[in-house]
């Protein structure tokens, strides 16, 4: 058997003519040559730069990068600031805000997205019109979203003023100017922007559920509420996971929204770690501290994304 196979190979023209072998070897390598630039770019500009940032976080770089290792100083300072609550340090504010924003943003987007998807799945007339209305904010930049909501929430001109004119004079809503509440306005604008997309994800999931299962449950006498709680929502588990990953990722990367909506809030009270990183690196000349905060952000994302990607890539073995 093997002898037959060898002789067949010998008959193919490329192997019969030795002069073509360089060309054919080039042909064989061509796919790799085509992929190589992109891969090299990724290795250098993503992984190389990450290492570079990690390196900088162990130096005492201030305005300009310095390449003398000075150890964990930047991390020690961040660690110290983590417990510096009176008055709150910028880092303490940033990570507390991250906790509040991340938790509420993810939770409300998931709840609202699922709720709207279930409502839209009730054979609604005009669904084709409603869906794009819920989803369009996702096409806007965070800067536009920020500008729009800044105007809408402005106590002197926006919602508060409008309700005063309608006669509800005791209405008071100045969160956007209040250092204790400004982060919640970021949650409102963020939810406004992303919840429609989460709705679309859940809706796609709902449409993918086998109608037979639903029918069977209904025949068994399940109420609509039971149907959703016991059957539909458990079936949507993979969508919950994907949506969570998307939202967590968006939350940790949020930077523009805080800048446009609050300009950082009174005294930097709306900062997220991304804003902290930018300010310390480029404005406060604390490059090492900025790099250390970037490394912490990266580690957080790695902890969320890597297990997810690993399981996704492993699911379809070749």
Partner 1 sequence: MSAVTTPARQATGGVNIKTINRIVIYGLLALFALFYLMPLFVMLVTSFKTMDEIQNGNMLALPKAPTFDPWLKAWGETCVGLTCAGIKGYFWNSIKMVVPAVLISTMLGALNGYVLTKWRFRGATLVFGLMLFACFIPFQSVLLPMATILGSVGRFGVTLQNSIGTNFGLGNSTVNLVFVHVVYGIGFTTLFFRNYYEAFPTELVKAAQVDGASFFQIFRRIMLPNSMPIFVVTVIYQFTNIWNDFLFASAYAGTGDAMPMTVALNNVVNTSTGVVEYNVNMAAAMIAALPTLLVYVLAGRYFVRGLMAGAVKG
Under rule CB under 8 A, which residues in 275-304 are in contact with partner 1? Answer: 277-278, 281-282, 287, 290-291, 293-295, 297-298, 301
φ and ψ of 229, to 5 deg: -70, -40
Instruction: List binders of partner 1 among 34-53 (CB under 8 A).
Output: 34-35, 37-39, 41-43, 45-50, 52-53
Nearer to partner 1, 9 or 143 (CB): 143
Closest CB 241 distance from partner 1, rounded Å: 9
Single out the residue of 9, 157, 216, 303 in contact with partner 1 (rule: CB under 8 A): 157
State the CB neighbour count (10 A cutoff) for residue 305: 14
Instruction: List binders of partner 1 among 213-242 (CB under 8 A).
Output: 242
Which of the ranges 90-98, 115-123, 207-215, 227-235 carries the binding residues for partner 1, by CB under 8 A?
Answer: 115-123
Q: Around 273, how many Cα atoms within 13 Å sit in the side-chain half-sphere?
A: 26
User: What is the Cα–Cα distance from 134 to 150, expressed in whole angstroms?
Assistant: 20
User: What is the Cα–Cα distance from 163 to 17, expressed in whole angstroms?
Assistant: 86
* Cβ-proximal residues to 288 (8 Å cutoff; 6+ apart), any chain: 56, 57, 58, 59, 60, 61, 62, 70, 73, 74
Nearer to partner 1, 164 or 179 (CB): 164
196 contacts partner 1 (rule: CB under 8 A): yes
Q: What is the DSSP letter of 125?
A: T
Which of the ranges 68-76, 78-86, 155-163, 171-179 carries the binding residues for partner 1, by CB under 8 A?
Answer: 155-163
Instruction: List binders of partner 1 among 199-218 (CB under 8 A).
Output: 200-201, 204
Which of the ranges 69-77, 88-96, 99-107, 131-139 carries the binding residues for partner 1, by CB under 8 A?
Answer: 131-139
Closest CB 282 distance from partner 1, rounded Å: 7
151 contacts partner 1 (rule: CB under 8 A): yes
User: What is the Cα–Cα distance from 143 to 145, expressed in whole angstroms?
Assistant: 5
Instruction: List binders of partner 1 among 163-182 (CB under 8 A).
Output: 165
Q: How many binding residues for partner 1 (CB under 8 A)?
A: 92
User: What is the Cα–Cα distance from 138 to 194, expressed in whole angstroms?
Assistant: 6
Tokens of 89: 């340090």
Which of the ranges 78-86, 96-104, 152-160, 229-237 carries the binding residues for partner 1, by CB under 8 A?
Answer: 152-160
CA distances from 12 to 5, 16, 20, 30, 178 (A): 11, 6, 12, 20, 78
* Cβ-proximal residues to 66 (8 Å cutoff; 6+ apart), any chain: 59, 60
Nearer to partner 1, 138 or 235 (CB): 138
Nearer to partner 1, 9 or 119 (CB): 119
């Amino acid at each position: 058997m093997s002898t037959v196979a060898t002789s067949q190979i010998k008959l193919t023209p490329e192997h019969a003519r030795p002069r073509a072998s360089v060309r054919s070897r080039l042909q064989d390598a061509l796919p790799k040559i085509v992929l190589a630039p992109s891969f090299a770019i990724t290795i250098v500009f993503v992984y190389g730069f990450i290492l570079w940032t990690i390196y900088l976080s162990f130096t005492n770089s201030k305005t300009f990068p310095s390449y003398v290792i000075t150890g964990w100083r930047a991390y020690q300072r961040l660690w110290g600031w983590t417990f510096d609550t009176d008055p709150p340090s910028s880092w303490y504010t940033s990570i507390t805000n991250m906790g509040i924003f991340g938790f509420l943003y993810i939770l409300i987007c998931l709840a609202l997205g699922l709720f709207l998807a279930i409502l839209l799945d009730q054979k609604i007339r005009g669904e084709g019109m409603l869906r794009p209305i819920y989803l369009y904010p996702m096409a806007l930049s965070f800067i536009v979203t920020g500008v729009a909501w800044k105007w809408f929430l402005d106590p002197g001109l926006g919602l508060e003023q409008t309700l005063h004119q309608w006669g509800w004079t005791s209405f008071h809503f100045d969160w956007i100017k209040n250092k204790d509440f400004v982060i919640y306005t970021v949650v409102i604008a963020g939810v406004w922007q992303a919840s429609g997309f989460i709705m679309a994800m859940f809706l796609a999931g709902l449409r993918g559920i086998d109608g037979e299962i639903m029918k069977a449950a209904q025949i068994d006498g399940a109420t609509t509420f039971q149907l959703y709680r016991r059957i539909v929502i458990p079936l949507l588990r993979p969508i919950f996971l994907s949506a969570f990953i998307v939202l967590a990722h968006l939350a940790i990367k949020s930077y523009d929204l805080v800048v446009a909506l609050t300009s950082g809030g009174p005294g930097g009270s709306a900062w997220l770690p991304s804003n902290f990183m930018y300010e310390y690196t480029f404005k406060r000349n604390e490059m090492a501290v900025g790099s250390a905060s970037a490394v912490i952000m990266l580690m957080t994302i790695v902890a969320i994304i890597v297990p997810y990607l690993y399981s996704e890539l492993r699911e379809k073995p070749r």
